[in-house]
Amino acid sequence: MNQKFKFIFLILFILATATNIHADEPGLSHKSIPSNEDLLQNLKPDIAELTAVYNAKDQNEALKLLCGYLKEKAAERYYFNWQNFKRRFEEYAQNYPEQKKKHFDLAEEHMSAYPPETNWILPFVNLHGDEVTAYELRHLARQQKSFDIALKFYYTGEDPVYLNYFLRQVADLNRAFGAGEYDDAGNGIYEYYRAGRRIHNWLFCHNAYLASDQYRWQDQLLVIRTLLHHGAQLQKRTEKFKHGNHHTKGLVALFEIATQLSDFEVADSWEKQALTLLTMHLQKEVNSDGFQFERSVHYHIGDIENYFRVYQLAQINNVALPDTFTFQFRKLFDALVQLAQPNKRLPVLQDDTDRPFSENNLIDDAMTIGTLIFVDPVFRYFSTDDIPGDIYWLLPEDQLKLLDDLEERRPEFGSVALKETGYYCMRNGWTPDNEYMTISAGLSARKPDHQHGDMLGIVAYANGHEILPNYQVRYKYPDYPFFKNSWTKNVALVDSILLGQGWKPNTGGSGFGKWRHLPNPVVLDWKIDPEYDYFCGTHNAYDSLNVTYFREIIFVKDGFWIMRDHFEGDRPHLYQQVWQGKYNIVNQNHVVSDFGDGSGLQIIQLDKSKFEISISEFRGKRNFIFAQPGRDQFIFTTLLYPYSNNGKAVIGNDVAFSDWHVIRNPAGESIDIDGVSTNAVLILYSKDKKMVLMEATEFNQQNELNKFDKSSLILVHENGSWNITGQFMQPERD
């Protein structure tokens, strides 16, 4: 070999060696399960408490001593101290008796479907003789029910069948990895979200089983080797930032492994990588208004759990968190408060999946986390009174009694806008009989995967009910794309063309998917006032039809809304309003939803046009549609009137409800009312001297004539005269 080729060979060898060292930590490769030698060789060399391990005469003795050391350290490093586990388990069983059946059912569901030595790639048949679906494989990979199996071990007096099942399934995954018999594509078993969830559950199992003498040091060694392999996998797979909760989950698990096994040389770099990228997620994915960038309550709360795990272990293990981490973390709780309904829940917004087809979101568990960390009395107002079972095992003992001494305080703010996220929230109080509405006017720029076809859609609450609901979904159900789109929203449509277009299922076939195209909403105006709120927005869904659309909403805080859906096209179309709920038809302009306790919602078209009406039902959820066919342009002017104590509106020549009357003036003639003359096409007038004028260009009082471009006006009578407190100009059309 001549000198030239020797030099090239040497350079290639150095580069290859350097690349290999960069790709894998010394002694721990993501490509293989670490051996016993790998564990011993990768220990930090200067830990005084490991001197006996370093000096052990044979490998077996060293490994046994190492497992004993790590067992003692686990008592200091995990969310709970395993030395107190049995006492805490007795407390858990006593305080959460309803959980026992759930744990038994889930443990049985898993163990009856999969043998300990199972398959980790499709296709295969489970123990029931059924083909395992992609959705089911993903849940097998997450090992969520190993948590329930561990608890059942203690419910049954430490029946060894449950510990043995766990250990055999851990070993079997390692076997499958070594043999290459696992999915590493669409339903990837080591994909960072699924591997991250698995680490959450297996770390719990490991610490719970440490309290049992049946959990031998050889068993612990198997789990420790498995955890370190997962750390190497997660380090490799998460090293580049990627938007979304999957990447976040993998980093949280990497941080958990690093803190629990901090005696290994790899741990410091894993911890640094996890914290650096998690802080980046908080900076990039918590909007300036505090809401998680995917716009879903479910994923927002999921990230609260993610960052809570890191926060807890950082406190326990004396790991300093960046100031940005804590600052952004707190904003996640502030945003939940800002969007909360008067019943202390949140509406369904985008992909919410905890309770399929439910019409709201529970936030008390999440707000309990915020209360425990930030000791905020407003957070306490929304929290549970007792520690929720779902977070019980994430709390050291000194946090378990914190709620007892914290006072609560009801929020004092009213309507708010989360402008970056695109949620506009109208409310007139915090008691259960108050009114509330949120308008969805956003599109996630980075990751709209969880977005629904609800642009400018609304959800509303009054008198203890979701009067205009949205519905939670579940990915594995075949009707998931239907419930994700516009027929299950409170939106306006043209020609029955839905806002979500081009459904694209994911490659793994789990049921999840996303839209190829969603409209881009634009907010044109937003005003908040003690007497009223006003929203106006548009979107581009129907630009290809040459139809311009915008939606106006006026919330009069006496307790009703006026909604105006404006359509303008260059040829006839079918214009539609879609409303969720179970309605009784009064006539073609008027429907009522009755909730059976004297309260309800009336939807009344204030235009005297004749409407086509229809009712549809699917999975017990109904919608009602007002339609206006054959028009180039049309404006729906719609009264949304929630009532209590059977206080329905009265329909005659005009509409009367509560202390208000509606006067129609479609020709725009000058008419007089209580010292005012106006050419407004619609006038709402109350006994306590408030007035709403729509499409007015003139307002005359005491021979003072005011002229302006076509507007909606809010008037309040004070000191002997009518004063304009709000003026909303109709948007200019292109």
CATH number for the domain harbouring residue 555: 2.70.98.70
Q: Is the residue at 43 inside a domain?
A: no
SS3 264: strand
User: Are residue 587 and residue 494 in the same domain, yes or no?
Assistant: yes
Q: Which one of 651, 668, 703 terminates a domain?
A: 651
Average pLDDT over residues 280-291: 98
> Once rounded to an integer, what is the mean pLDDT over residues 513-539?
96
| pLDDT recorded at residue 400 | 92
Residues 345-382: tens digit of each pLDDT? 999 999 999 999 999 999 999 999 999 999 999 999 99
What amino acid occupies position 50? L
Distances (CA, A) of 30 to 34, 120, 180: 9, 18, 13
* Whole-number pLDDT of residue 487: 98
Q: What is the dihedral of CA 453, 457, 461, 465, to 10 degrees?
A: -40
Is the pLDDT at 274 greater than 90, yes or no? yes
In 3D space, the residue among 708, 711, 655 whose CA is nearest the CA of residue 680 turns out to be 711
For the chain, give percent helix, strand, coil, nearest 5: 35, 25, 35
pLDDT at residue 291 greater than cutoff 50: yes
What span, in angstroms and rounded, lies between the C-alpha atoms of 82 and 79? 9
* Alpha-helical regions (H) of 658-709: none
474 and 511 housed in the same domain: yes
What letter does residue 486 receive in the DSSP assignment? G
pLDDT of 5 > 80? The answer is: no
Q: Is the peptide bond before 123 cis (omega within 30 degrees of 0)?
A: yes
- Domain-embedded: residue 50: no
Tell me what the pLDDT averaged over the chain comes to: 94
d(CA 295, CA 9): 54
Query: Does 391 share its domain with 454?
Result: no
Asked if 532 and 508 sit in the same domain, the reply is yes
Q: Is residue 3 part of a domain?
A: no
Domain boundary among 634, 651, 668: 651
Give, in order, the Cα–Cα distances in Å from 518 to each of 69, 192, 443, 503, 616: 55, 28, 8, 10, 24
Judge whether residue 20 has pLDDT over 60. no
Whether 702 and 593 map to the same domain: the answer is no
Q: Could you give the CA distance from residue 680 to residue 693 in angstroms, rounded to a whole number?
A: 6
**CB neighbour burial string for 529-548, b if at least 16 within 10 angstroms, e if fewer:** eeebbbbbbbbebbeeeebb
User: Are residues 397 and 516 located together in one domain of the fold?
Assistant: no
Kindly state whether residues 380 and 401 are assigned to the same domain: yes
Q: How many domains does the chain have?
A: 3
Confidence band (pLDDT; 50, 70, 90) for 10? very low
Q: 433 and 395 in one domain?
A: no
The owner of tokens 């019409």 is: 359
The three state secondary structure string of 26-92 is CCECCCCCCCHHHHHHCECCCCHHHHHHHCCCCHHHHHHHHHHHHHHHHHHHCCCCHHHHHHHHHHH
> What is the rounded CA–CA span in Å between residue 671 and residue 677?
5
Would the pLDDT of 299 be above 90? Answer: yes
**40: exposed, middle or buried (Cβ count in 10 Å: 0-12, 13-18, 19+):** middle
Instruction: Tell whether 669 and 576 lie within a shared domain.
Output: no
Q: Which of 428, 369, 426, 437 is nearest to 403 (CA)?
A: 369
pLDDT in tens, 565-595: 999 999 999 999 999 999 999 999 999 999 9
For residues 377-394, average pLDDT: 96
CB-based contact 266:23 (threshold 8 Å) = no
pLDDT bracket for residue 439 (50, 70, 90): very high
C-alpha closest to that of 302 among 237, 354, 230: 354
* Last residue of one domain, picked from the residues 651, 685, 708: 651
pLDDT at res. 22: 36
Q: Is the CB of residue 670 less than 8 Å from the CB of residue 662? A: no
Q: What secondary structure letter does DSSP report for 17?
A: H
Do 461 and 406 have their domain in common?
A: no
The answer to whether residues 428 and 559 touch, using CB atoms and an 8 Å cutoff, is yes
Name the token pair of 221.
């060694």
Same structural domain for residues 360 and 506?
no
Of 408, 418, 184, whose CA–CA distance to 297 is shortest?
418
Q: Is residue 702 part of a domain?
A: yes
Instruction: For residue 337, give its domain range.
Output: 286-413
Q: For residues 331 and 379, is the Cβ–Cβ distance under 8 A? A: no
Confidence of residue 13 (pLDDT cuts 50, 70, 90): very low
Residue 160 belongs to a domain? no
Dump pLDDT digits (tens) for 682-700: 999 999 899 999 999 998 9
Whether 486 is in a domain gets the answer: yes
Number of helices followed by number of strands (H, E) in the chain: 19, 28
Tell me how far apart the alpha carbons of residues 630 and 575 are, in angstroms, rounded to a whole number.
8
* Percent of the chain residues topping a pLDDT of 70: 96
- What is the C-alpha separation between 656 and 287, in angstroms, rounded? 43
Q: What is the pLDDT of residue 16?
A: 38
Task: Give the Å distances, CA to CA, from 77 to 317, 318, 351, 671.
Answer: 6, 10, 35, 77
3 state DSSP class of 638? strand
Burial label for 454, CB within 10 Å (0-12, 13-18, 19+), is buried
Distance CA 377, CA 337 (A): 12
Long-range contacts of 317-324, Cβ-Cβ distance < 8 Å, separation of 24 or more: 317/77, 317/259, 317/262, 319/259, 319/271, 319/275, 321/275, 322/275, 322/279, 324/279, 324/282, 324/283
The DSSP secondary-structure symbol of 409 reads -
- Reported confidence tier of residue 26, pLDDT bands at 50, 70, 90: low
Q: CA 13 to CA 7: how far, in whole Å?
A: 10
List the beta bridge partners of residue 729: 711
Q: What is the DSSP letter of 616?
A: E
The Cα–Cα gap between 446 and 486 comes to 22
d(CA 82, CA 87): 10
Q: Is 55 exposed, middle or buried (0-12, 13-18, 19+ CB in 10 A)?
A: exposed
pLDDT band at 733 (very low <50, low <70, confident <90, very high): low
Two tokens, residue 662: 């509606």
Stretch among 186-195, 299-308, 666-675 having the lowest mean pLDDT? 666-675
466 and 529 co-located in one domain: yes
Give a yes or no: residue 636 inside a domain.
Answer: yes
Task: Please indicate, yes or no, if residue 498 is contained in any of the structural domains.
Answer: yes
3-state secondary structure of 580: strand
Residue 640 pLDDT greater than 60, yes or no: yes
Which residues, in sequence order, are CB contacts of 614 under 8 Å at separation 6+?
624, 625, 627
pLDDT at 17 > cutoff 50: no
